[in-house]
Structure 1
Amino acid sequence: MTPVIDVHVHVYPEQFVRDQELISKREPHFDLLTHNRVHKWGTADQLIRRMDETGVEQSWIFGFAFRDPGLCAICNDYVIDAVRRYPGRLKGFASVSPLTRGFTAEAERCADAGLIGIGELFPQGQNFDLGDRRQTWRLAAVLEERRLLLNVHTAEPVGHDYDGKGNVGPKEAAAFCLNHPGVRVIFAHFGGGLWLYETMPEMKLALKNARYDTAAWPFLYDARVLAAAKAAGALDKMLYGTDWPILDRERFASRLRGCGLDEREKEAFMGGAAARLLAERER
């Protein structure tokens, strides 16, 4: 059986819990996302225990994408330490603020320490335009040079509102891919529906290096969304991600039972596709 890989997991150093109110005064997006009814804190050690309980072999972990590069560096130190303490079980992504001076040096430091990507970035929360090449070319350059993956928060442009949804959706995500076709990017939360446009021949080509994670699936879509992605020819680009500690594998069980995929397709979705992406990156 293919090992389960969760590609969308957040972990937080304990000092962020202690300093939540102080940080919130400086970081509006952190304030928004940590002061609501669904937010939960989780450490790397707690994550490993939960992975063992729910049968998850590997998690790809992020900190929090702050505007302040100093806070990003604290996240990165924590993620680097966690990956070193749990080799093989955890793969790490770096937090950077793409419009701040020196962010590429921080990305390089994290790559040198063994992290595999950058993310989950919050374009609205970090005050940068994902679709503006003038604001993203430095980010794309370090991603390509160091063969790093990118995870970016995206959301559906219709439907109910929620804290942290933001205004970055398929249009902005597609523009990023058109501007930087060589970047291997994972658009969080189903890419806000961007996968649908893989049925357009020119967009299929433009999105050749795009993937889509399923973080927060139970909050967003019913079980049929994966069957729809299959019909659109994009199922092989869907990566299992939960958004732990907000949600975990158990909350996805009913969606997986009703998703309409056969066992081989489920195994690919739950880990095989992520393993292939990692192998591509390491070649």
Structure 2
Amino acid sequence: MIIDAHTHIFPAIFRDKRSSFFDDEPSFKMLYSHKTSKLEGVQNLIQDMDADGVDVAVVFGFPWKNPDNYRRHNDYIIEAVAANPDRLIGLSCFDPVSSEGAREAERCFKSGLKGVGELAVYDSPLTDDIILRMNDVMAVCRAHDAPLLMHVNEPVGHHYPGKQAITLKQIENLINRYPDNKIILAHWGGGIFFYALLKKELKEALTNVWFDTAASPFLYDPAIYKTAGSIIRYDKILFGSDYPLIKPDRYFREIDTAGIEPEDMAKLKGDNASGLFHHRGH
């Protein structure tokens, strides 16, 4: 079973009237103001999954600052999952420092969603204050034994829309602050998995951490699959396409030529996500 663990879908109001939300949502404007930035709905996602051979997708919205926006978006995710229970796993999404975030996460869990994410802070480093303000949301996730997907990125290299000013130390602070939470670090965790080779500290800190591959073809050489698998084990890698940014077949071509054993390939393409999200499949 192939599970795409990182996809974004939007209801019609955000797709059709995106510019009307730019003034109050600067992060949304930063990511989606360009005409080539795609916003897709659930029907297109399902069609593309069928075309690309993806069995199940983890779907979520956007970390809106306005509670009305994120509630509306989460309602769309809830409805999409309810209409496609065998094809979709839903996460709730909101501004990670929203005072209503924990309440919204609980509401969405009760409505059938399986986790929280992709949370992101695009306009700031991942400061200690932001990490502490995520405490209540993390507690809700622990109560439901559910993962939280966090946007992070590599702290070096070229700039691109959505790349925040983050350090590896800040990512370490996040996972150390919530060692009992299941945390998925998007975009290969900004490369922090490499430091699992350290003899002290970080290897243990990464016990409850997974890494998704979102945007990998834009960021890393295909050798990253085998390199990461040798350091953190293939059990901790989740295929995620960042749909609709990159088509899954581009990932599959890289994975298929990376020299990975079939058993390990099955883990990262879907088995790991199936276990993490308690998804039984068809």
Fold match by TM threshold 0.5: yes
Checking the alignment, whether the CA contact within 8 Å between 2:217 and 2:251 is kept in structure 1 is yes
Counterpart AA for 1:248? K
Counterpart AA for 1:124? Y
Checking the alignment, whether the CA contact within 8 Å between 1:236 and 1:268 is kept in structure 2 is yes
Is 1:224 the equivalent of 2:223?
A: yes
Counterpart AA for 2:38? K
Q: Which residue of 2 aligns with 1:90?
A: 88
**Residue correspondence of structure 1 range 108-119 to structure 2 within 5 A:** 108-119=106-117
Change (3 A) 1:38 1:242: farther
Counterpart AA for 1:226? Y
- Aligned-partner Cα distance in 1 for 2:247–2:211: 18
- Number of equivalences: 277
The 3-state SS of whatever aligns with 1:65 is coil
- Aligned-partner Cα distance in 2 for 1:22–1:168: 29
Q: Which residue of 2 aligns with 1:78?
A: 76
**Residue correspondence of structure 1 range 1-283 to structure 2 within 5 A:** 3-36=1-34, 39-125=37-123, 129=126, 131-132=128-129, 133-200=131-198, 201-279=200-278
- Aligned-partner Cα distance in 2 for 1:268–1:45: 27
- In the alignment, structure 1 segments of 5+ residues that lack a partner are none
- Aligned-partner Cα distance in 1 for 2:102–2:76: 19
After the TM superposition, list the runs of 4 or more consecutive aligned residues in structure 1 that deviate by more than 4 angstroms: none
- In the alignment, structure 2 segments of 5+ residues that lack a partner are none
The 3-state SS of whatever aligns with 1:92 is strand
Checking the alignment, whether the CA contact within 8 Å between 2:122 and 2:162 is kept in structure 1 is no
Checking the alignment, whether the CA contact within 8 Å between 2:229 and 2:237 is kept in structure 1 is no
Q: CA deviation at 1:253?
A: 3.2
Change (3 A) 1:161 1:128: closer
Counterpart AA for 1:245? P
Q: CA deviation at 1:96?
A: 2.0
- Aligned-partner Cα distance in 2 for 1:130–1:210: 19
Q: CA deviation at 1:83?
A: 0.2
- Aligned-partner Cα distance in 2 for 1:256–1:159: 23
Q: CA deviation at 1:128?
A: 7.7
Identical-pair percentage? 33
- Aligned-partner Cα distance in 1 for 2:178–2:102: 17
**Stretch moving more, 91-100 or 211-220:** 91-100
**Stretch moving more, 57-66 or 246-255:** 246-255
TM-score by length of structure 2 reads 0.93
The 3-state SS of whatever aligns with 1:93 is strand
